């Protein structure tokens, strides 16, 4: 039997008003285009409960008692890594037999949702203090200051790696059709290391690091790419360069090179990749590259450079603003 559409509150109230002025159920039904039985049901409900609002429906009783709900809520609050299986076992020992979906539904009603744990840097007290100091020093910096920063970092992009995860629409038993698969090889099929930079005005240069990077190679990369990026991005006078505290970046020779070149460097707290907006830009690049599914290292490098150049300046600007 098809489910009928519920009458609006205004219609229900109108039925009662017409009934109170002496109209019959048949007359009300004809006037409003409703069945007599529907009109009668609304009038009886109003006479019994003095309201036309929907009344609470009984439904099936909860399988977990209020005390049990408090117990499992307290358990996951103390240890968020508790599994649904652990909670099922806890309740079973207490005399209540439930399923894992019941656990999920119960905790969801308490405002708790199962999510993937975020990966964050391991922070020691000295790192916490350094991050706090950085935040306090720059708390009131205007947007214009951040727009005049060139952000930089290195990243590794794998061929056929985890970054190539994609969903496909397919029929049953067609999971191995070439169109529905992503080719994989052992150990990810190789990878490339990239150095890149950007500002609120858009992406700067992106280059592949073909050998193991040391201090001398890093200074060479900066020498060939940092200033050209600043010119291409039309950075204002007094622009600031940001890089993290990797030993290659903080080596005495690198610091001296930056000083001689008169580059102003942003003092950066250790263990703080999450503060650098370029991390989000790397993610943007990896998603774009994965969608094109490069088949070899040469193609991977070419596609990385192409997609990096395509990233809109608005994306960069929004990342810096955050």
Q: What does the pLDDT profile of the chain (322 residues) look like in tens digits?
A: 455 678 888 899 999 999 999 999 999 999 999 999 999 999 998 998 888 887 776 677 888 999 999 999 999 888 888 899 999 999 999 899 999 999 999 999 988 888 877 677 777 888 889 889 988 988 888 989 999 999 999 999 988 654 445 556 566 676 666 666 665 554 456 899 999 999 999 999 999 999 889 999 999 999 999 999 999 999 999 999 999 999 999 999 999 999 999 999 999 998 888 889 999 999 999 999 988 888 899 999 999 999 999 999 999 999 998 8
Name the 3-class secondary structure at 205.
Answer: strand
pLDDT value of position 116: 77
Contact 52, 16 (CB under 8 A): yes
Residue 155 phi/psi, 5-degree rounding, is: -150, 160
Q: What is the pTM of this model?
A: 0.62
Count the residues in the chain. Answer: 322
pLDDT value of position 6: 81
Name the 3-class secondary structure at 199.
Answer: strand
> CA dist 43 to 4, 9, 29, 38, 57, Å?
18, 13, 12, 9, 19
pLDDT value of position 255: 95
Distance in Å from the first CA to the final CA of the chain: 53
Provide CATH code, domain 136-163+175-321.
Answer: 3.30.420.10
Determine the Cα–Cα distance for residues 203 and 190; give it in Å rounded to an integer.
Answer: 25
Give the count of beta carbons closer than 10 Å to the beta carbon of residue 162: 9
Q: Write out the H or E segment, with its range, that includes residue 157.
A: strand 149-158
pLDDT value of position 53: 85
pLDDT value of position 168: 61
């Amino acid at each position: 039997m098809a489910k009928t559409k519920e009458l609006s509150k205004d219609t229900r109230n109108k039925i009662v008003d017409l009934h109170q002025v002496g109209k019959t159920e048949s007359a009300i039904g004809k006037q409003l285009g409703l069945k007599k039985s529907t009109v009668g049901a609304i009038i009886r409900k109003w006479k019994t409960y003095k309201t036309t609002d929907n009344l609470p429906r009984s439904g099936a009783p909860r399988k977990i008692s209020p005390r049990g709900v408090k117990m499992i809520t307290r358990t996951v609050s103390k240890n968020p890594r508790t599994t649904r299986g652990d909670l099922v076992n806890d309740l079973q020992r207490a005399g209540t037999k439930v399923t894992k979906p019941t656990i999920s539904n119960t905790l969801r009603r308490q405002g708790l949702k199962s999510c993937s744990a975020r990966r964050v840097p391991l922070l020691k007290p000295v790192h916490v203090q350094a991050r706090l100091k950085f935040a306090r020093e720059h708390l009131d910096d205007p947007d214009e200051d951040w727009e005049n920063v060139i952000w930089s970092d290195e990243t590794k992009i794998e061929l056929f790696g985890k970054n190539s995860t994609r969903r496909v629409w397919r029929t049953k038993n067609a999971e191995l059709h070439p169109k529905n698969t992503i080719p994989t090889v052992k150990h990810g099929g190789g990878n490339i290391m990239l150095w890149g930079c950007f500002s609120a005005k858009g992406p700067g240069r992106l280059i592949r690091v073909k050998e193991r990077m040391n201090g001398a190679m890093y200074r060479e990369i900066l020498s060939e790419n940092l200033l050209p990026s600043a010119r291409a991005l039309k950075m204002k006078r007094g622009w600031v360069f940001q890089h993290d505290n990797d030993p290659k970046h903080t080596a005495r020779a690198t610091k001296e090179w930056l000083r001689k070149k008169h580059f102003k460097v942003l003092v950066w707290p250790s263990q703080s990749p999450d503060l650098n907006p370029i991390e989000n830009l790397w993610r943007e690049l990896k998603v774009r590259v994965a969608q094109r599914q490069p088949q070899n290292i040469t193609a991977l490098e070419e596609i990385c450079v192409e997609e990096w150049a395509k990233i809109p300046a608005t994306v960069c600007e929004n990342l810096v603003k955050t």
